[in-house]
Amino acid sequence: MIEIPARKGKAVRVGQGQRVRVVNTKGQQVVDTWAFNAEDMREFMSMEHSRVAIGRIIPAIGDALVTNKRRPILTLVEDTSGGIHDTLFASCDRWRYELLGCSEYHDNCTDNLWAALKALGLEPPETPAPLNLFMNIPVIDGNRVEVRPPVSTPGSYVSLRAEMDCIVAFSACPQDMLPVNGLTMRPTEAHFELLD
């Protein structure tokens, strides 16, 4: 099991057909997730294309998330977390924390994505909208969105099967000013493992 340290990111190469199992070690920890075509980083998992492809805002088991070229890249194949994830919200960034009143630097998922890829010698062409695993953003009355604590329990997990050779990046969301990561607002570590 590889650790995604609390408040930080981690990226990994995943071969076509391999699965990556993302474990919510402590429960209620959101894990922002991105995937890039290993052959061409300009092709990446896209939430706005995936919603069209799957006909839902939250992927269900069997749903293939697609790239900005509308090709399957990651398929959700297991989910013991309660099935609540988010595709609507941008990853947090320095501007998000500034608007929340933070005057000093705050860890954020956007910088974590870039740092995690840099550790592999890679650079993304942009910051795609993430698949926010375990994040609970209900759409109420077909329109209103609200930040709620995750429903995922400790040790619950999702597995994603790679449909092409890809780079998958994770960030254990450092949000500690809103109940994104539970009412205690204490970001924790998460883990992942690669399965053949």
Task: Report the residue from 1, 3, 17, 69 that binds its own copies according to the rule CB under 8 A.
Answer: 69
Q: How far is CA 69 from CA 9, 40, 58, 87, 134, in A?
A: 26, 12, 20, 18, 26
Parallel, antiparallel, or unpaired for β 144-145 and 64-66?
A: unpaired
Closest distance to its own copies from the beta carbon of 166 (Å):
18
126 touches 134 (CB < 8 A): no
Segment contacting its own copies by CB under 8 A, of 4-12, 137-145, 156-164, 168-176: 137-145
CB atoms within 10 A of CB 188: 20
Which of 137, 182, 185, 132 lies closest to 28, judged by CA? Answer: 182
- DSSP per residue, 17-39: T-EEEEEESSSS--EEEEEEETT
Closest distance to its own copies from the beta carbon of 69 (Å):
5
Q: Which is nearer to its own copies, 12 or 109 (CB)?
A: 109
Q: Does 37 bind its own copies (CB under 8 A)?
A: no
Q: Does 61 bind its own copies (CB under 8 A)?
A: no
93 touches 112 (CB < 8 A): no
Name the one residue in this structure whose structure tokens are 């998000």: 96
Q: Does 81 bind its own copies (CB under 8 A)?
A: no
Closest distance to its own copies from the beta carbon of 106 (Å):
14
Task: Report the residue from 8, 10, 26, 96 that binds its own copies according to the rule CB under 8 A.
Answer: 96
Task: Report the residue from 77, 90, 115, 151 that binds its own copies according to the rule CB under 8 A.
Answer: 90
Q: Does 194 bind its own copies (CB under 8 A)?
A: no
Closest distance to its own copies from the beta carbon of 141 (Å):
9
Distance CA 126, CA 110 (A): 10
Which of 89, 88, 106 lies closest to 97, judged by CA? Answer: 106
Q: Which residue ranges make up the site for its own copies (CB under 8 A)?
A: 46-49, 51-52, 55-58, 68-71, 88-90, 93, 95-96, 99, 125-127, 129, 138-140, 142-146
